Structure formats: C-alpha cells, structure tokens
A = this chain, B = another copy of it.
C-alpha cells in the first residue's frame, strides 16, 4: 500500500497495473495480508486514537463555529467504546468470508478437447470516496484485498489525521505481504476528486461511502459506473385484506426502528377499504411513537379523532411529500382508491390508465413512479396480491408482510456490506463481496479454429454440452 501524492492519473495507472498482480494472488496470500493488517492496527491502537483525537479537536472547534454538524463528529469519533474493536473485527469477518474469486458458474464442452468455463474474477480498480468515518479505510481495504481488486481511497478532510495514521500503518504492514505496493493507494492530496472521477480509462467502479449529497455529486461527475444509491424512498402498501396486527407491527418498525436509515419507510399507501379497518390502529401506533403523518384528504378523515401524547401530529400532505425522503419521524400517507375512476376530491390517481387498473395496480404504479427502487413492502393476506406486487414493483427489495428495514447486507447474511445499490444492472440491493467481482470466459483448446466449424459438409459442429460446474474448481488446478 502506498500513501501517494502523485497525480490522480499516475495513481490510477499504477493501480491498474498492480491490479493484475493482485488478481492472481491465492486466497491464502490475500487472507494472510488481512491478518498482517489486523495485527498492525491492533499493535498501533494508541497512535491511531491519538491521531483521531487531533481530528476530533479540530472538528469540535469547527462545530462550535457552526461549520460542522454534530452527527459528523459522532461519525468521526474512533474513541467511542467498541468502535476501534469493531473496526478490527471487521477485518477478521472479511477474512473468513468464502473466496469470491475463481468460482466457476458455467462450464461447457464446446467440442472434444475444447472446454469453456466462466470464472469469477476481480473487477479491477475501485475508487472509494468516503467522508468522515475513519474506520471505512480499514473496512474497504479489507474488502478490496479479499476480492482481489486494487483500490484508490480518498478520504474527507475532517479525518485527515486519522486517515494518514491508519494508512501509514496499513501501508507498512502490507510491505511484508504479497499484495503489490500500488494495489491499495491512499490519496491524500486534496481537491482531486474530480480528477480521479475522470480516470475512466483506469478505474472500473466508484463506490462513494457517505451522505446522499456525496453520492449525487459522484454520479453526476463521472463516466465510471457508480455503485451506491443517493436516495432511499421506501414505501409500504396496506391492501384491503391486510392483517391489522401485522400492519401495525411492520409499519411502526419500518418507520421508527431507525428513521435516518435509507431502508426506513417514507410513504404509506392505504387501500381505500382499509382506511377504517386497519389504518386507524397503524396511525395511532405511529402517533404514539411521535410520528408526524402527512395525509391526503381521505386518510386524514379516517383518523380525524386520533391524538398523540408523544409529539406526533396529523397534517395535510402535499404532492412533494410523496417524493420526499424524510429520514425523520415523518410519514406521507396516500389513499389508493378501489374504484377504477379518479376520486373527485382533487386527488389524482397514480396513473392515466385507471380504467384497466385495480387498487393493487394503482399502488404498484405509484411506487414505480415515486420510489427510489430501493425496497418496498406489501401487507396483505392474499398470496396472489403479494406475488403480483413482488413481480411488478421494480425495486431491489420487494417484501410481503415484512419490514423494509430488513434491506441490509448483514441481515441478508452477506457479511460485510459494500453498500446498497439501486442500480438496475450489475448489483442490486445490499452488495457483499460478490458485487466486487465480474467474470471472464476461459477457453482451453489444442489448436481449434473457428473456421473449422459451421453448417457445411466438411465442417465440425459444436457440441455445446453443459458440464457440471460444481466442484469444477479443484479439477481445473490452482489457477482458476
């Protein structure tokens, strides 16, 4: 690992070159490097905390001057109980994950003596841009090494001291491993993000780890594919046959478990016929938690008699509320009419194709038009309605009678999470190590040429015989 002050282009070029040497390392060599990094960070804990304390002092001053938010200070603080240990444990967690590289998922006998395999391999060079959290350096360096990808790390200025200290330690530690020096680079030069984002010739994937603004900035300033999401506008639809207890439990958790998270629910759609049967109990539970409900006219009328002793309130919704990620104890509520014609209270339906639609279709159409394609849930006792919802809603996560808060790499059983993607290609939803891999096709022959094959009389025909891909790895040898 090197702590580079070279130009962004030189850094990217060196990373691209090193990536190919990292790509051929055995999983043992990659795991050994993780052990070495773990030991080095553990041994130098005090130096890291000292550096972090210097960052914290500057940040606290900036906060007092009103230049930094207190939440950023919290994220910056590596001295909080358990945080340093969590950072170290994260490296061990990544080490024990199965090797994502060299997995064969397709094996075809093209002809006798001509075999094709599709093998997972590293993507190449990752650019990771992160804000305050210093522990992300260790976390991402571990994921990159494990997946055989070179990485360029660019941190935020608030964590400069922590960043440089952790970097130096990791850099020194890696010198005694087989991981090539330039495979993990830490760019400390300031104000080079735009120049890094221009290196589409050398960098294959950008992963912004930070707030929505950072992600949005990155997405609009690069041709390199970006893994991440700027918005998390999740919705829950309560169908007319919803179980009331399930609706209460799931909606309260989805809104209140951790309102600032991207997988929290921001919009509640309620079937017209559930306004009186199910919705009041849901609304009361939310009001009791202190949630502000921003309702359209029919849903507001249905709960006109409810009150909150916990600071919750009932307000009128605007159209903009259905496009808003509140990240707070606020929930937009919209009624889905069960009749196919638009309602007459000025509220328009979600689609102009109303004549063909049922309430379920209208809910699906609303979500597809307004959600950020992150995670959406339906509460219903009908498997037909649930399965249609899950097929038709175009989001990375589609749930039936479950909280949107389940959208998370740890909860999915993926181990450490690279991020949650709302992209429509490559990786979707919570992304684990697998999302840092792609595949290549290998063909092993003995002089076969394409001109031999074809339709003519003297031509050979392809066999295209599908071979068992499971366990193929060991048979192929150590290089896969």
Binding site for B on A (CB under 8 A): 16-17, 19-21, 23-24, 108, 110, 114, 116, 121, 123-124, 204-205, 219-220, 223, 225, 243, 245-246, 249-250, 252-254, 257, 351, 353, 364-365, 368, 383-384, 386-388, 390-403, 405-408, 411-413, 423-430, 438-451, 453, 462, 464, 477-480
**Smallest CB separation, A149 vs chain B (Å):** 10
Given known A17-B353, A24-B388, A116-B412, contact A447–B246 (CB-CB < 8 A):
yes
Contact B424 A428 (CB under 8 A): no
List B contacts of A249 (CB < 8 A): 447, 449
Given known A411-B462, A425-B426, A464-B413, contact A443–B406 (CB-CB < 8 A):
yes
Mostly, the A contact residues are mixed
Contact A364 B438 (CB under 8 A): no
**Smallest CB separation, A48 vs chain B (Å):** 25
**30 contacts across the A-B interface (CB closer than 8 A):** A17-B365, A17-B368, A20-B393, A20-B394, A21-B392, A23-B392, A24-B391, A123-B424, A124-B424, A204-B424, A243-B447, A245-B447, A250-B448, A252-B449, A254-B449, A390-B440, A391-B479, A391-B480, A397-B442, A401-B446, A402-B447, A405-B450, A406-B450, A411-B450, A411-B453, A425-B425, A425-B438, A426-B438, A428-B441, A430-B441
Give bound CA distance, A211 to B274, whole Å.
Answer: 56
Name A448's closest neighbour in chain B (CB-CB): B402
List B contacts of A123 (CB < 8 A): 424-425
Contact B253 A402 (CB under 8 A): no
Contact partner, A424, options B393, B430, B438, Cβ 8 Å:
B438
**Smallest CB separation, A101 vs chain B (Å):** 9
Name A21's closest neighbour in chain B (CB-CB): B392
**Smallest CB separation, A265 vs chain B (Å):** 11
List B contacts of A403 (CB < 8 A): 448-451
Given known A204-B425, A449-B250, contact A402–B443 (CB-CB < 8 A):
yes
Contact B449 A257 (CB under 8 A): yes
List B contacts of A383 (CB < 8 A): 477
